[in-house]
Chain A
């Protein structure tokens, strides 16, 4: 049940890219919503469109090669696709902000971190420079950085990977956004640092009641952090549901494969080494997609219908939907 108000509603979102081989559809009719203070996960392999979904929401689809060709993205009651760039700039980094995968390449190497955090505060809130600096310092304390006064004056290259990601989080949260998009925020980090970062995100999310979209390829990370999950494959949403349902009762063969192909840590691994379940083949080239279900060529359950018609999204129950012709038969 949706108790909280929907803060973000994405409808029929399509993104096309122009390439030498013609137009390529990288997002195909993506639909989802995000409630206030909720955390959802978007999972899939590289090239499935999860980052492009984030870029579309942020208004950062690279132009002129990329184009949002259809759909709408409602943030509260504003359609983000209809407003001017100037209006978007007031929302981006202020009401909706984003953390990127590689903190080193998304921080400016020639400014100290204090200035970089203060910059976004000053841009969005009518405050003086010194007030913005004070706010930046407060944010550094909020993300548990030791000796924040000293860190304010340091440059990105002087910090460790975990520390840089904390700076990114401090920057993204400095204007208390309603939505935070985290695009693979811990992929470049060690597991113990990853655990620290997620502890921090969880605490901050609770404090500020921020809604979070977590983009990752790691089902384990999603399981520990998100309430709902969206599984994407080749630009389409294939399954969506409450995290516990998806993990215990996945309907789509791709979701099943994704869960089974990763060696999960067990308390007792047993004496015999078993082979992992493989998803055969590779992700299809988006410029050469055949009609029908994009996963059909790698799917063990595919029937002729799968190769001809695109599956439509069906509700399994209130909290769970899947786009697969065979979902009813393979349970």
Chain B
């Protein structure tokens, strides 16, 4: 496999200004994504894991520029797309697609499956109508549906089938990079396995690059080559899949992993569970974002934000203590 970089994200910040409740109120900012840096080699899967509100989805949306990033640089296949003109961006979007968590709400309920899958082709003006129709049949078969399914509406499908339609739509225009934003969280466990296997098969078949987002550490470990753990808008630890789980270093990652319930009765892990809730991203803590809940906090953690440092060839962490 070639090791060219499909996506490179440098020092990405995404902040949202909140609407002021009245004109004398102070303007408030949500610090959703703070200084996120990562790259994904072509054909690989990079995972973002973390709890709700940690900024995984905002990071993904910023990468696709569905949300405008506040600062930072995004390179897609070597091209800087951070500030390019919307028309040029639309051309790029042909190759950058997304699969959302809830397949039902991401489809037009009044369009047929065929129309939904053909939409990217129509919008990008690819092929003649007959060619498009052939392409739709081909895509539906590739995701495990039948060409006859094209005439049905979203409500006539099961959850798993709907997600298959969304996958077919993402691949329609020849995507090379796909964001999978919690693609199986809304599905039953038995169906989850079917969709995850499908995503792996398609990745091999089309040499796709995935940015895979999930709150489920088991799914992330199964799907990803490299993983970033996010907390309050920051990547606190980043490593390849083997290293991350063997050498868990950041206290937050440790807490996250120890909280995952397991059926392995031989694993008896510490029951050191985190206390309290995640701080508000409107008033993030100073210094290390995790210091308010960290069992190992020292004074310097409260003042200085730790940089992501390389500790093993494929393992980075953001931690000030050593």
Contacts and interface: CB of A to CB of B under 8 A. Distances in A.
A110 interface: no
B263 A264 contact: yes
A88 interface: no
B248 to A, nearest CB: 9
Given A45-B189, A220-B262, A262-B192, A196 B274 contact: yes
A313 to B, nearest CB: 22
Interface in A140-174: 146, 160, 162-163
Given A199-B271, A283-B190, 10 more contacts: A191-B217, A192-B255, A192-B259, A225-B261, A244-B265, A258-B189, A262-B218, A264-B264, A269-B221, A279-B193
B193 A278 contact: yes
Given A45-B188, A221-B261, A271-B242, A263 B197 contact: no
B170 to A, nearest CB: 20
B222 A276 contact: yes
Given A218-B261, A247-B265, A283-B188, A275 B246 contact: no
Contact of A220 (B160, B194, B223, B261): B261
Contacts of B223: 263, 273
Contacts, number: 126
Category for how many chain B residues contact A: 35 or more
Q: A-side binding surface: helix, strand, loop or mixed?
A: loop
A282 B191 contact: yes
B52 interface: yes
A6 interface: no
B214 to A, nearest CB: 10
A316 interface: no
Contact of B197 (A146, A193, A247, A278): A278
Contacts of B192: 261-262
Identify whether the interface residues of B are mostly helix, strand, loop, or mixed: helix
B88 to A, nearest CB: 35
A328 B173 CA distance: 51
A75 B212 CA distance: 48
B219 interface: yes
Contacts of B51: 190-193
B260 A191 contact: yes
Contact of A199 (B188, B219, B264, B273): B273
A29 to B, nearest CB: 23
